Amino acid sequence: MFIDYLTLMLINLSAGLALLAAYVYFGLSSSNQKRWIPGFGVVGAIALVTGLHMTFTWPIIGSFNVAFGETTVLFGILFVGTSLTLAMGWELFTLGIYGFFAGLVSLLIGFRIINLGITQLPLLSGIGFILVGLGGIFSVPTLSLKSTRLLRTIGAIVLSVAALIFAYIGLTAYWAHLADFSKWTPLPR
């Protein structure tokens, strides 16, 4: 059976990036880290479940499963890890190292989406992936220099722009999917 939940993944990504931007700007140096746990946990759980399913089953056509499924797994496990780390009072630094490598993947996929012209909006999608990648690549310096307001401000802006890009793509995809699938019915069993 054909399943297309890319819209859910896109809006979850957008919400997660907005949350991360707010955390980088407001929460990173705050004494109250526990307020961020539920948001990171919810976003991470949805991303991890949908990303793993897409990676293992390839429910949509072509390389979308790699570009969106695998990066969503990386995104999801980072958010689940962040939620757990904040709950336990641990340091985020090692997650920043993981985020660096996840950022490299996102950066590469962004450039490749633009290069191959895949998705309905390849330039916009590619830029979104590139911005998320930059956020991951700069996670270690941001965590190491969290008292540097300028670095946190730039990071929050980059993540906010990425969140807006993926919100636009996700909302337009919902609009199109509601029309495209309005008469779709599953095959009889």
* 68-77 residue pLDDT tens: 999 999 999 9
Give the pLDDT confidence score for residue 177 in this predicted structure: 85
Asked whether the predicted pLDDT for residue 186 surpasses 80, the reply is no
Give the pLDDT confidence score for residue 169 in this predicted structure: 97
Give CA–CA dist 31/35, Å, rounded: 10
User: How confident is the model over 60-70, as a mean pLDDT?
Assistant: 92
Give CA–CA dist 44/52, Å, rounded: 12
User: pLDDT, tens digit, for every residue of 116-140?
Assistant: 999 999 999 999 999 999 999 999 9
33-66 burial string, b = 16+ CB within 10 Å, else e? beebbebbbbbbebbbebbbbbbeeebbeeebbe
pTM of the predicted structure, to 2 decimals: 0.94
Enumerate residues 6+ apart whose C-beta is below 8 A from 30: none
